[in-house]
Amino acid sequence: MAREGILYQGAAGRDTCLPDLLAASGLARLLWGAYDAAMSQSDEVSKGRRSFLLQAAATGAAAAAATAAAAQAPTPPQGAASPDASPSASPSVSEVRSEGRPGSDYMVDVLKSLGFEYICANPGSSFRGLHESIINYGGNSRPELITCMHEESSVAMAHGYFKAEGTPLPVMAHGTVGIQHASMAVYNAWCDRVPVYLILGNTLDATMRQPGVEWVHSVQDAAALVRDFTKWDDSPVSLQHFGESAVRAYKMAMTPPSGPVVIVADTELQEQPIHSDRTLVIPKLTPPSPPQAESGAVTELARLLVEAEQPLFIADRLARTPAGLERLVELAELLQAGVVSTIPNLMPPVGAGRMNFPTRHPLNQTYRSNAAIAAADVIVGLEISNFFGATNIFIDQVERTTRPAIRPDAKLITLNSTDLIQKANYQDFQRYAAVNMALTGDGEATLPSLIEAVRRLLTDQRKSTFERRGKALAEASAAARERFRGDAALAWDASPITTARLAAEIWEQIRKEDWSLVSGGLSGWPVRLWDFTKHYQHLGVSGGSGIGYGAPAAIGAALANRKHGRLSVNIQNDGDLMYAPGVLWTAAHHRIPVLTIMNNNRAYHEEMMHIQRMSNRRNRGVDRAHIGNEIDNPGIDYAKLAQSMGWYAEGPISNPRDIGPALKRAIAVVKRGEPAMVDVMVQPR
Ligand SMILES: Cc1ncc(C[n+]2csc(CCOP(=O)(O)OP(=O)(O)O)c2C)c(N)n1
Ligand SMILES: [Mg+2]
């Protein structure tokens, strides 16, 4: 039986809907302005939906002697179906609500108030109410539903989207099997300090669960699985509770240090009507201002920097917004200090957590990071978890040892917000770094006051010293860059193609475009050879090194880049793609333009190197190290794989001279608004 008590006080819909109730109760002023906008946007669709339901109901009412005002219909409306895979014992008559709104319509209004452009999901009946409200009541617009083929892809898309756009992309998933699939991608987002916004469907009331699959897909505490690596979660028990927690979750996710959050949307809350005697409010979102480091410590840091002989900044997840990059350039230029913006002590240096500093800036010392770290007398780690790794050399031999990578007199300072967020179980906080000063606060938000404090301490004498230092740093970085250019020319015509040649060929085709490298390190060659200047040109790495991130994160970032008209470039590792290649279909289906170049080394090569190392250490030879690591015999035809999912694709390409023309053709397709792939057979590294 349909329950009694239809939505928002009766059948008149818009006339007596939420804003009116709020106005009557004097609560309207509490609403965020976006609520009204959302309501009017969705009004037409909503009216259409109501009339459809009334129509369906009227047929039913005639057959059933017009009792109970359209509570039942004799024939099910189109597509009415039983829940996931469970044979339905329900009667042949489907009940139809004739008027008003279900709880999930309010949930959609809440999501609209948060300004979400899209929402990713692999469908699941535990959020069928919300799904239906998004597409019908919400008009499938802001948020528009993006169909994903794996929950891990949904979350990784949200991860990549945030890094390009700076705003979260919500994800819906089953509170059990969905979050189990999604969990590794949530972990990546946690380690990378990225606000992923998860909505999990679940039926808490055991008496409301359909026997069978719905029990298997229900849980007491849906967020428990990811609580160790999320910032906050809640399981609301009323619609108002949902509204408040949904807004709170957004605020928590976005407050630096950012991180993933989870809201559980109970199925009963989604599907039952909004009770007429309730007054619902969409709480106002107040964007939080990020925490800054304490002013005395900032002044002391400025003094150390101005007095230093060789100050050096090492930046990892510093630039949260475009302003982060600009401020770091300003600070470095003011002091003529070097900047390393990379994961240190990996040879070769491979990409930063964020795009913090232009690659060809004369003060960029990333190309010679070991030398710069060894020479520095004041080293400031900016939003870096692995400061120990940056300042020590770890040697993985039979006996693992560590030795300092710095001068004995070097002063070590950190400016981090990460101490505000740590949990115990997962160890992404890295080895403890004994430092001289630890400033707690958001790095980007603290830079303006640090710049001001440095300015106050500058003297003409120091300025001329700085100038000399800057010249020397510029020469050193230019020389390092020149060496890399020489290295890139080695085996230029080799086949399989060298990673350096591939990076150079891609650069040649994109350098005049408004490009964005949405994923892919290619052994560090783009960072060495390309001219990165803008915040969206490098989106950094996964955070948790959970492989399977690259492809979906790239497509999520490309979705964000689409409206800006940027050329999204994804350098795609083969092993990474094969975790969940269905995301290729998502890109084609939603017409997400992205240029994907397969870094096809036919192996899980990183792991192959580990087995080679083990074999060498045990003196057994490396000739069997491919076992368990190769992705060959048969080799995968990635062009065919992509074509089968609606992509334009070429390859595999073995002759380096064929890369340029193939990229030209693929870029033309991407410019038409479609995804395109070029599969290239490359050297292992
Ligand atoms: C989820 C997950 N499983 C396994 C690993 C271990 N792992 C690290 S690198 C790697 C190989 C990745 O292969 P590919 O994406 O082709 O990159 P390549 O190493 O060949 O450059 C694997 C399997 C991991 N980091 N994450
Ligand atoms: Mg590989």
What is residue 277's predicted lDDT score, i.e. its pLDDT? 52
346 located within any domain: yes
CB hemisphere CA count around 195 (13 angstroms): 21
Give the end of a domain, one of 447, 465, 488.
488
The DSSP code for 96 is -
Nearest atom within ligand 1 for CA of residue 631: 16
Residues 228 and 308 in one domain: no
Measured between alpha carbons, how far is 245 from 110 in angstroms, rounded to an integer? Answer: 10
What is residue 278's predicted lDDT score, i.e. its pLDDT? 63
Per-residue model confidence as pLDDT tens digits over 312-337: 999 999 999 999 999 999 999 999 99
| Residue 55 reports pLDDT greater than 50 | no
Measured between alpha carbons, how far is 577 from 564 in angstroms, rounded to an integer? Answer: 26
Residue located nearest, by CA, to atom 16 of ligand 1:
575
67 located within any domain: yes
Residue located nearest, by CA, to atom 14 of ligand 1:
575
Give the end of a domain, one of 488, 512, 534.
488
Whether ligand 1 lies within 6 angstroms of the CB of 310 is answered as: no
Whether ligand 1 lies within 6 angstroms of the CB of 607 is answered as: yes
What is the token pair recorded at 27?
A: 């609560």
The domain tally of the chain equals 4
Whether ligand 1 lies within 6 angstroms of the CB of 605 is answered as: yes
Closest-approaching ligand to the CA atom of 522: 1
Output the CA 523–ligand 2 centroid distance in Å.
11
85 located within any domain: no
From 606, 636, 685, the mutation candidate for ligand 1 (largest count of ligand atoms within 8 A of CB) is 606
Whether ligand 1 lies within 6 angstroms of the CB of 547 is answered as: yes
Nearest of 581, 551, 600, 590 to residue 641 by alpha carbon: 581
320 located within any domain: yes
Residues 519 and 580 in one domain: yes
Residues 213 and 306 in one domain: no
Provide mean pLDDT across the span 51-61. Answer: 36
What is residue 62's predicted lDDT score, i.e. its pLDDT? 34
Provide mean pLDDT across the span 8-36. Answer: 32
From 547, 576, 636, the mutation candidate for ligand 1 (largest count of ligand atoms within 8 A of CB) is 547
Per-residue model confidence as pLDDT tens digits over 152-194: 999 999 999 999 999 999 999 999 999 999 999 999 999 999 9
CA dihedral sign, ordered 254, 255, 258, 264: negative
Q: Order of strands, edge to edge, in the sheet holding 648-653?
A: 515-519, 567-573, 595-600, 676-681, 648-653
Measured between alpha carbons, how far is 285 from 65 in angstroms, rounded to an integer? Answer: 49
Per-residue model confidence as pLDDT tens digits over 395-431: 999 999 999 999 999 999 999 999 899 899 999 999 9
What is the token pair recorded at 347?
A: 């040879």
| Neighbour-count burial for 612-643, b at 16+ CB within 10 Å, e otherwise | beeeeeeeeeeeebbeebebeeeebebbebbb
Can you name the residues that pair with 567 across neighbouring β-strands? 515
Average pLDDT, the chain: 87
What is residue 202's predicted lDDT score, i.e. its pLDDT? 98
Which residues are placed with Cβ below 5 angstroms of ligand 2, an ion? 573-575, 601, 603, 605
Output the CA 616–ligand 1 centroid distance in Å.
21
User: DSSP readout, 285-318?
Assistant: P-PPPPP---HHHHHHHHHHHHH-SSEEEEESS-
What is residue 100's predicted lDDT score, i.e. its pLDDT? 74
Residues 181 and 39 in one domain: no
Residues 56 and 148 in one domain: no
To 5 degrees, how large is the angle CA 197–CA 423–CA 227?
Answer: 40
In three-state form (DSSP H/G/I as H, E/B as E, the rest C), the secondary structure along 548-565 is CCHHHHHHHHHHHHHCCC
Q: Where are the beta strands (DSSP E) in 525-645?
A: 567-573, 595-600
94-103, 365-374, 653-662, 665-674: range with lowest mean pLDDT: 94-103
What is the token pair recorded at 300?
A: 């002391």
Residues 322 and 450 in one domain: yes
What is residue 39's predicted lDDT score, i.e. its pLDDT? 41
What is residue 275's predicted lDDT score, i.e. its pLDDT? 82
Output the CA 601–ligand 2 centroid distance in Å.
5
What is the token pair recorded at 407?
A: 């001068």
Nearest atom within ligand 1 for CA of residue 523: 21
Residues 12 and 51 in one domain: yes
Q: 20 or 596: which carries more pLDDT confidence?
A: 596
Collapsing DSSP states into helix, strand and coil, what is residue 103?
helix
Predicted TM-score of the model (pTM): 0.88
69-73, 244-248, 270-274, 436-440: range with lowest mean pLDDT: 69-73
532 located within any domain: yes
Per-residue model confidence as pLDDT tens digits over 185-223: 999 999 999 999 999 999 999 999 999 999 999 999 999
Pairing between β-strand 392-396 and β-strand 400-404 as defined by DSSP bridges:
antiparallel
Measured between alpha carbons, how far is 571 from 678 in angstroms, rounded to an integer? Answer: 10
CATH number (domain holding residue 653): 3.40.50.970
Nearest atom within ligand 1 for CA of residue 545: 25
Per-residue model confidence as pLDDT tens digits over 568-598: 999 999 999 999 999 999 999 999 999 999 9
Q: Which helix (H) or strand (E) holds 171?
A: strand 170-174
Whether ligand 1 lies within 6 angstroms of the CB of 524 is answered as: no
| Residue 665 reports pLDDT greater than 70 | yes
Output the CA 365–ligand 1 centroid distance in Å.
28
The DSSP code for 333 is H
Measured between alpha carbons, how far is 317 from 529 in angstroms, rounded to an integer? Answer: 22
75-89, 148-162, 617-631, 671-685: range with lowest mean pLDDT: 75-89
| Residue 57 reports pLDDT greater than 50 | no
Residue located nearest, by CA, to atom 13 of ligand 1:
604
Output the CA 78–ligand 2 centroid distance in Å.
46
Measured between alpha carbons, how far is 350 from 342 in angstroms, rounded to an integer? Answer: 6
**Residue appearing with tokens 């900047």:** 339
What is residue 272's predicted lDDT score, i.e. its pLDDT? 95
Whether ligand 1 lies within 6 angstroms of the CB of 575 is answered as: yes
**Residue 591 Ramachandran class (φ > 0 left, ψ -120 to 50 alpha, else beta):** left
Whether ligand 1 lies within 6 angstroms of the CB of 316 is answered as: no
Q: Where are the beta strands (DSSP E) in 203-238?
A: 232-234
CATH number (domain holding residue 443): 3.40.50.1220
CA dihedral sign, ordered 658, 660, 664, 666: positive
Whether ligand 1 lies within 6 angstroms of the CB of 332 is answered as: no
**pLDDT-derived band at 67, boundaries 50, 70, 90:** very low
Per-residue model confidence as pLDDT tens digits over 590-617: 999 999 999 999 999 999 999 999 999 9
Residues 229 and 306 in one domain: no
Output the CA 397–ligand 1 centroid distance in Å.
22
**pLDDT-derived band at 95, boundaries 50, 70, 90:** confident
Closest-approaching ligand to the CA atom of 520: 1
- Domain that residue 581 falls in: 499-681
Whether ligand 1 lies within 6 angstroms of the CB of 606 is answered as: yes
From 542, 570, 604, the mutation candidate for ligand 1 (largest count of ligand atoms within 8 A of CB) is 604
Output the CA 357–ligand 2 centroid distance in Å.
28
Output the CA 569–ligand 2 centroid distance in Å.
18
Per-residue model confidence as pLDDT tens digits over 467-490: 999 999 999 999 999 999 999 999
Sorted by sequence, the CB contacts under 8 Å of residue 543 that are 6+ apart come out as 159, 188, 189, 190, 191, 192, 193, 194, 353, 428
What is the token pair recorded at 447?
A: 């830079």
| Residue 102 reports pLDDT greater than 50 | yes
Measured between alpha carbons, how far is 415 from 190 in angstroms, rounded to an integer? Answer: 19
226 located within any domain: yes
Measured between alpha carbons, how far is 641 from 581 in angstroms, rounded to an integer? Answer: 9
What is residue 477's predicted lDDT score, i.e. its pLDDT? 95
Residues 615 and 647 in one domain: yes
Measured between alpha carbons, how far is 591 from 583 in angstroms, rounded to an integer? Answer: 12
Task: Give, to the nearest 10 degrees, the angle between helix 103-113 and helix 239-254.
Answer: 20
| Residue 43 reports pLDDT greater than 80 | no
Q: What are phi and psi of 532, to 5 degrees?
A: -85, 120
What is residue 99's predicted lDDT score, i.e. its pLDDT? 66
- State the alpha helices, DSSP H only, in 351-492: 369-375, 387-391, 443-457, 460-488
Provide mean pLDDT across the span 346-365. Answer: 78
Q: 603 or 279: which carries more pLDDT confidence?
A: 603
Measured between alpha carbons, how far is 298 from 452 in angstroms, rounded to an integer? Answer: 10
Cβ-based neighbour number of residue 115 at 10 Å: 15
Whether ligand 1 lies within 6 angstroms of the CB of 573 is answered as: yes
278 located within any domain: no
Nearest atom within ligand 1 for CA of residue 184: 1
Measured between alpha carbons, how far is 541 from 26 in angstroms, rounded to an integer? Answer: 49
Output the CA 415–ligand 2 centroid distance in Å.
35
Sorted by sequence, the CB contacts under 8 Å of residue 529 that are 6+ apart come out as 484, 485, 488, 500, 503, 504, 507
**Residue 619 Ramachandran class (φ > 0 left, ψ -120 to 50 alpha, else beta):** left
What is residue 29's predicted lDDT score, i.e. its pLDDT? 31
To 5 degrees, how large is the angle CA 193–CA 374–CA 391?
Answer: 35
Residue 249 · residue 263 · CB < 8 Å: yes
Measured between alpha carbons, how far is 607 from 318 in angstroms, rounded to an integer? Answer: 30
Residues 483 and 445 in one domain: yes
Closest-approaching ligand to the CA atom of 577: 1
Burial class (CB in 10 A: 0-12, 13-18, 19+), 20: middle
283 located within any domain: no
Residues 436 and 523 in one domain: no
Task: Give, to the nearest 10 degrees, the angle between helix 295-307 and helix 443-457.
Answer: 60
Sorted by sequence, the CB contacts under 8 Å of residue 291 that are 6+ apart come out as 256, 417, 420, 440, 441, 442, 445
Sorted by sequence, the CB contacts under 8 Å of residue 128 that are 6+ apart come out as 83, 201, 267, 270, 271
Closest-approaching ligand to the CA atom of 601: 2
Residues 343 and 376 in one domain: yes
